[in-house]
Amino acid sequence: MSPTTPSGEARGPVATLRRIAFLMERQREETRRIEAFRNAARTILPLPEEEVRQRVEAGTLTELSGIGPSTAAVITDAANGVVPERLVELEKTAGPLATGGEELRARLRGDLHSHSDWSDGGSPLEEMAMTAMELGHDYLVLTDHSPRLRVANGLSPERLTRQLGVVEAVNEHLDGAFTLLKGIEVDILDDGSLDQTPEMLDRLDLRVASVHSKLKMDAAPMTKRMLGAVRNPHTNVLGHCTGRLVTGNRGTRGQSQFDAKAVFGACAEKGVAVEINSRPERRDPPTKLLELARDLGCLFSIDSDAHAPGQLDMLDFGAARATEAGIDPDRIVNTWERDRLLEWASARL
Ligand SMILES: [Zn+2]
Ligand SMILES: [Zn+2]
């Protein structure tokens, strides 16, 4: 399922279903609507090809749980070597999501911020890893939420420990060209401390720290809170720093107020990367702050903050913004090779 496969080429049923889901996700269609295609792919994946063929001929695909009339039609087309009309339409949207950042996007080797269904993402971590590989990434950092973020099913130390075992198992099945890295999006608590035990944070490859609560706190305590997180040696990336939402079905939200010069100055001093969050509803940091961070000498990471596999492709938006701001690619940590990235991420521990 390479995203670059020419649209005229027919794929097998599982690849066709996954391709449809991928293209819907990268356009931010609702996860609920996409789930049918992901579920159908999961249902037929373990079946022998012969059984799928027989069911196509007998018209009994819909007897399988997870397959309805529309996904059965897609499977039938694909099994018959036909590209379904639905996919033909979606392929028309398959080009870059943004213009102006193509060169930088091609230099990005991975993604430092992504979620699986262990917290509030929509897909298993294996599916996230597989799609990241298909996008040509060398690495993907899995950064599910921390315990206090209960609305997002944040991971307790026990669940995170279990997840790390699964990540190791996934990597054992890969040839080493791609690595799923151990990470977290850890909440920055009101007092600036991080919402996970230091022991667990030590076990991770990389840590994104973000504010998710009390976004309207006064500037002085918010600055202190963010400085606390940036100075914490566990923090590698300051996630979506203003918390703003500029569009989308969650509505809009203004940006948090804080002394950006102080916070970005501390990021530059400590080697913490300022995240360029690629999600179109975030566009965080806003342009003025992005330019301030650039002028203060900060490192950056261009992240998708994907909650579904197709959203991993949203890096296009962040790359376009970074290019527009004239940021030197070597200051963007996910243009770095994996080993350089890992060295940087563990340097302050
Ligand atoms: Zn977040
Ligand atoms: Zn996130």
Q: How far is the CA of 46 from the centre of ligand 1 (A)?
A: 34
pLDDT-based confidence at 30, cuts 50/70/90?
confident
Distant-in-sequence, close-in-space partners of 95: CB < 8 Å, separation ≥ 6:
none
> What would the mean pLDDT of 231-240 be, rounded to a whole number?
98
Indicate the pTM of the whole model: 0.94
- Mean per-residue pLDDT over the chain, rounded: 95
Q: How far is the CA of 300 from the centre of ligand 1 (A)?
A: 16
- Sheet of 237-238, strand order: 110-111, 139-142, 179-187, 206-210, 237-238, 273-277, 299-303
Surrounding ion ligand 1 within 5 Å at CB are 210
> What pLDDT, in 10s, does the model give residues 289-328?
999 999 999 999 999 999 999 999 999 999 999 999 999 9
pLDDT value of residue 215: 97
DSSP symbols for 313-339: GGHHHHHHHHHHTT--GGGBGGGS-HH
pLDDT-based confidence at 249, cuts 50/70/90?
confident
- Ligand index nearest the alpha carbon of residue 306: 2
Strands 110-111, 299-303: parallel, antiparallel or unpaired by DSSP? unpaired
- Ligand index nearest the alpha carbon of residue 143: 2
pLDDT value of residue 13: 96
Distant-in-sequence, close-in-space partners of 114: CB < 8 Å, separation ≥ 6:
121, 128, 132, 140, 141, 142, 143, 303, 304, 305, 306, 312
Return the closest-CA partner of residue 205 out of 239, 169, 227, 180: 180
Q: How far is the CA of 115 from the centre of ligand 2 (A)?
A: 6
